[in-house]
Amino acid sequence: MTQSDILLAEAPGPAVPPARRRRRRPLAAIPYVIIGIYVLAAAIGPVLIDYDPVATEVTERLLPPGSATESGTAWLGTDAVGRDVLAQVVYGARTSFIIGIAVVTLCGLIGVALGAIAGYSGGLSDAVVSRTIDILMAFPGILLAIVIAGLLERGMHVVIIALSVGGWVGFARLSRSITMSTRERDWVDAARIMGVSKSATLTRHIVPFLAGSVVALATIELASAVLSEAALSFLGLGLPPDIVSWGQAIAGGREHLGTAWWITVFPGTALTILVICIGLVGDRLTRRFTRKRD
Amino acid sequence: MTYFIVKRLAIGLLTIWGVVTAVFIVVRLAPGDQATVALGPDATAADIEALRHTLGLDRPLLLQYFSYLGDVVRFDFGESYRFGRPAMDQVIERFPATVQLTLAATVIAIVAGLILGVVAGKKPGSALDRAVSTVALGLQALPPFWVGIMFILIFALQLQVLPSAGGGSLANLVLPAVTLSIPFTALVARMTRSGVAETMSEAFVQTARSKGLTEAQVLTGHVVKNSLIPVVTVVGLQVGTLLGGAVIIETVFAWPGLGSLLVSAVGNRDYAVVQAATVLIALCVIVLNLAADMVNAKLDPRIRLEARR
Amino acid sequence: MTIRTRRSLAAGAGTVALLIVAAACSSDDPASQTGGSESAGGDLTVAGPIPIENLDPHGAASLDAGTQLAARAIFSQLVVSSGPGEFEGELAESWEPNADTSEWTFTLREGVEFSDGTPVTSADVVASFERVLAGDGPLAGNFGGYAAAAPDDSTVVFTSGTPDAAFLGKISSFFVTPQAAANEGFFQEPIGSGPFVVESFEPGATLQLAPNPGYWDGEPALDSLEFQSIPEVAARMTALQTGEIDITWAMPDDQIAQLKSDSNLTVENVASPAVFTMWMNSSTPALQDPAVRRALWQAVDFESIIGSLYPETGTPADSPISPAVLGYAPQEPVPYDPEAAKAALDAAGFDYENTVIRWQFSQANFRNFVDAVVSDLAEIGVTVEPMEKEQAVFLEDLLALNWDMNLQQLGTQGFDAATNLGRLYTCEANRIGYCNEELDQILAQAGSTSDTAQREDLYAQAIEIIWDDAVGMYPMFVEQPYAWRTSVEGFEPVSDGVPYFDEVTVSGD
């Protein structure tokens, strides 16, 4: 939610001379490349690296990176039951993406729909949506997810729901405020005067205008969903033990921090780099679209 | 202004009611019966039924809801079965530790963020500016719980200069407060940077310069002062995120605050404590946001006007 | 510019420092307060694995390790178990069952007082017992059908409708409080007859105790005793090594080697009544056949798993109850033989394709063990779905038999097989989905005689049936590890992980 505030708040931001920013810098491509590598790893990594999260080898537990095991070399070491850490990093990427994308899609759909309707119609529907947003905003980010995921039974869908309950608010606020300002534009007035129905005006003349900013926000929310999933798993809430996730791997290695740092360090680094890169991309998109909107 | 305040207060009250209701719904949706946990595996079905009756869990849901509302108005969240005392007492007892942690983190964030922001915003577009901005972006995205663990690994286990967990002393506060402050340091740095960059070109800065003030005097006397107020307001608005972060950081560092209490209460199905803690945290957020709103409105009349629409 | 920035930095740092000082002051540091006093016995700081959240030994937390730990320091039991089937009197000087063990008469020790000077009478015992019965805690389930009476000031009679040879084992978890315990707020500043009195208590954080000068068995030598809560394992180990705490226990195996290499520490394991118990639900169609259950047991290489995961505290079990318990009888170990297991499953017509064994557990620290077992079973083609559940859901499902396999570290209260086998394995209890009338009869007989030799014999028969029918897998006996600083003297590790501190002294801190 921090990020959606920025998206809203930074709208009148002339601070940076645009000309300088527009200059292409080769370094700017780095985050995209890294994210690409992650997506590849999540998509085809499981095909290349054979890993069965169920199979353990207790005699090969807590081996340092580069150790030889019966099934090959454990480049990033093994965990407390002898599973390969590298494979966990790769399979964890998949879990993170699945949950992240599901959460963002769900939140985006709900948020944009409610936000656009509230912003365009005003009146009662706006009041209801706005007050619901107020209520959800009162729960600090992850708090609601902790309570929901902690109280319901475990499962990937529970994590997705728990993160979505508070997650759509950002989309709704953004769409609502943009819709409210767009409503007053000439072409919307024109459509209204020409007798275009309310729903058609919304979908044809307003929602397309939202797209850029929503994509920007979705990127940022993706980073935060990935992060929150890891945090939940780290607290031991939400995911069942047989789903590989970075958060669970980090939590599992906590007890061995002094003796087997690799269990926590590698999945954590993978998580950190991914979240930072998505954040960088999201920031760039945000700046582009907030400027365009003005 | 009065209209604005009244409207905001009304919305605040409505929000509090919503929060209280939402918490009730979530807790009732949860599987797992409190009476069963309290009585353990050897209890007879009759015992469990009797306790459910004492706890009022066998009444119709709507009735439970209204009596819960009535209790909440009196700030009574019932007895914690784990602690054998009113849940709110337990929550209030842990609250100062959380306040300490969040306050320390806020101060660190404001101080460090301002310095970074001024350094970067002084010469917009310079290499230093770009470096600070990129680092700030990175910091904002760092997973706090992971940073906390790395701090434990480095400072507590490798260097052995700071304790890894627990509460109470100065040394105990350092790691969790710094960890919690990181994303907010980045946020403050970014805000200050744009604020400073903007002000640097404004007329009164030029005037100050032409009056012969040194660059340092101009910066602290005019530029920073100007960027400070929005920074503080935004920090007020971010208090929710800060408290949410504290929940996790407290668990990482075993800081004896509300967050670690809440996480263990969720695990123990101590509904009374879950409700009390959640509502108290939400209440803090609502009140502080309200305060930040008011300050904002006082400073910026446009907001008041918008409220009228 | 530089100068000004620095000043603002310094100002900011000052604010932080102020806050931190405030933080430091607000928490009173007990060590520095009591550290100055002249010490004969010293100040002892203890951190167990479970925080002390509640001091009420009768309520919902009564069987919590944290509550029991505090209760053993503050209150007194009637009897204390001192070994398999052996008990020592604490508040009770002597006790006597009637012929069929359905009535137990206790004679109280003379001249025992609560720390406020009032004498401990049989009325207090009865009131405490009634508080347990009426209470909303797990202890009540032990005493279904019981009533207590006080014919005179120093005699208490407990009567049950049915014979109960294991009553002593059960009553050893029962603490006597003054009658005032029923009053609201009593447990904020409780009064007991134990070796220590409460100075201050922050639930879930610290419990500060002072010796009770009027303790009937002699005032403890310690100047003060403090229980701290350090939930994070690594932090607890560090605190022990740096001397912030003097005693801890229940350390994970992976930490023990490091502690052993520290010359300032003594590390010792004691046999405990706990057994890793993996019941298999006999009412699940796929697990109905004892041959299937036994084959599954055979398919897991428990020896490697225990050797790798629990090198310090685990030993392969040869009985469903531990050697520390009355009634223990060793059985023929089940050897690891995946091929024989596969053959047996094939012979029994086990449906590999469509059977998913739902294995429930509730503690995160079982994860490694569970993963390893699941992996071994997957090797022979058996699918097990590990289900980690929150305590509440776990308990509900446990009682509803909503599981195919269950994992618990099962202790035996009072070190008497009756509280384990006799309580859990009957048809009536229906806790495992297993029902065997022959076993029922043996257990009933064992539960209704006070002749120890006869009971041991009967439990040996019962254990043989349970073991051969593979009602569950019983992979491992758990030892309880303790570690304490060498400056601590007189500390006696106890097998149930809830130690006493009245004989302890600390030298030259």
Q: What domain range is A258 assigned to?
A: 74-292
Contacting subunits of C (3+ beta carbon pairs below 8 A): A, B
Contacting subunits of B (3+ beta carbon pairs below 8 A): A, C
Chain segment B15-49, per-residue pLDDT in tens: 888 888 988 888 877 777 777 777 777 777 777 88
What is the arithmetic mean of pLDDT over C483-498? 90
Find out whether B44 and C144 touch, Cβ atoms under 8 Å.
Answer: yes
Q: What domain range is B177 assigned to?
A: 94-271+280-299
Distances in Å between the Cα of A158 and the Cα atoms of A102, A127, B228 are: 12, 29, 42
**Rounded-to-integer distance, Cα A140 and Cα B240, Å:** 4
What is the arithmetic mean of pLDDT over A154-161? 90
pLDDT of res. A243: 85
Over pLDDT 90: what percentage of chain B? 6
pTM recorded for the entire structure: 0.80
Q: Is the pLDDT of residue A14 over 50?
A: no
pLDDT band at A291 (very low <50, low <70, confident <90, very high): low
Which range has the worst mean pLDDT, B119-128, B182-191, C46-55?
B119-128
Q: Are residues B99 and B243 in the same domain?
A: yes
Chain segment C309-339, per-residue pLDDT in tens: 899 999 999 999 998 888 899 999 999 999 9
Q: Is the pLDDT of residue B111 over 70?
A: yes
Chain segment C3-14, per-residue pLDDT in tens: 333 333 333 333
**Rounded-to-integer distance, Cα A288 and Cα A215, Å:** 11
Chain segment C257-285, per-residue pLDDT in tens: 888 988 999 999 998 888 999 999 999 99
Residue labelled with tokens 């967990």: B165
How high does pLDDT run on average in chain A? 81
**Interface predicted TM-score (ipTM) of this complex, two decimals:** 0.81
CATH number belonging to the domain at C6-29+48-191, selected among 1.10.287.130, 3.90.76.10, 1.10.10.10, 2.30.40.10: 3.90.76.10
CATH 3.90.76.10 segments of chain C: 6-29+48-191
Q: Is the pLDDT of residue B146 over 60?
A: yes
Q: Are residues B265 and B153 in the same domain?
A: yes
Chain segment A26-49, per-residue pLDDT in tens: 677 888 899 999 898 888 877 777
pLDDT of res. C405: 95
pLDDT of res. C23: 38
User: Which 8-state DSSP code applies to residue A206?
Assistant: I
Chain segment C406-453, per-residue pLDDT in tens: 999 888 877 888 888 888 898 888 888 899 999 999 998 888 887 888
Residue type, A180: M
pLDDT of res. A160: 93
Q: A130 or A241: which carries more pLDDT confidence?
A: A130
- Could you tell me how many residues make up chain A? 294
Count structural domains, chain B: 2
Domain contains A10: no
Chain B residues with beta carbon closer than 8 angstroms to that of C231 = 165, 254, 260
Domain contains B304: no
Which range has the worst mean pLDDT, B189-198, B200-209, C344-353?
B200-209
Task: Determine whether the interchain pair C395/B37 forms a contact, defined as Cβ–Cβ distance below 8 Å.
Answer: yes
Tokens of A194: 């020409």
Task: Determine whether the interchain pair B241/A265 forms a contact, defined as Cβ–Cβ distance below 8 Å.
Answer: no
pLDDT of res. B303: 56
Q: Which of C168, C166, C130 is nearest to C146 (CA)?
A: C130
Domain contains B131: yes
What is the arithmetic mean of pLDDT over C202-225? 90
Q: Is the pLDDT of residue A200 over 90?
A: no
Over pLDDT 70: what percentage of chain C? 92
Among A80, A153, A257, the residue with its CB nearest the CB of C234 is: A257
Q: Is the pLDDT of residue B257 over 70?
A: yes
For helices A2-9 and A207-234, what crossing angle results, to 10°? 150
pLDDT of res. A9: 43
pLDDT of res. C227: 93
Q: Which of B63, B87, B111 is the last residue of a domain?
A: B87
Q: Which of B32, B21, B75, B246 is nearest to B145 (CA)?
A: B246
Task: Determine whether the interchain pair A140/B137 forms a contact, defined as Cβ–Cβ distance below 8 Å.
Answer: no
Q: Domain with B219 in it: what CATH number?
A: 1.10.3720.10
pLDDT of res. B181: 92
pLDDT of res. C14: 37
The nearest alpha carbon in chain B to A247 belongs to B146
The nearest alpha carbon in chain C to A82 belongs to C372
Chain A residues with beta carbon closer than 8 angstroms to that of C364 = 236
Find out whether C405 and C280 touch, Cβ atoms under 8 Å.
Answer: yes
Chain segment C96-141, per-residue pLDDT in tens: 988 888 899 999 998 899 999 899 999 999 999 999 888 777 788 7
Domain contains B307: no
Which range has the worst mean pLDDT, A41-50, B156-165, B173-182?
B156-165
Antiparallel, parallel or unpaired: β C79-83 and C314-316: unpaired
Residue type, A8: L
Tokens of A150: 């902690």
Task: Determine whether the interchain pair B150/A279 forms a contact, defined as Cβ–Cβ distance below 8 Å.
Answer: no
Q: Is the pLDDT of residue B57 over 90?
A: no
Q: DSSP string covering chain B, please?
A: -HHHHHHHHHHHHHHHHHHHHHHHHHHHHS-S-HHHHHH-TT--HHHHHHHHHHHTTTS-HHHHHHHHHHHHHTT---EETTTTEEHHHHHHHHHHHHHHHHHHHHHHHHHHHHHHHHHHHHSTTSHHHHHHHHHHHHHHHS-HHHHHHHHIIIIIIIS--S-SS-SSSHHHHHHHHHHHHHHHHHHHHHHHHHHHHHHHTSHHHHHHHHTT--HHHHIIIIIIHHHHHHHHHHHHHTHHHHHHHHHHHHHHHT--SHHHHHHHHHHHT-HHHHHHHHHHHHHHHHHHHHHHHHHHHHH-HHHHHHHH-
pLDDT of res. B304: 56
Antiparallel, parallel or unpaired: β C224-228 and C43-46: parallel
- CATH superfamily assigned to domain C275-478: Dipeptide-binding Protein; Domain 3 (3.10.105.10)
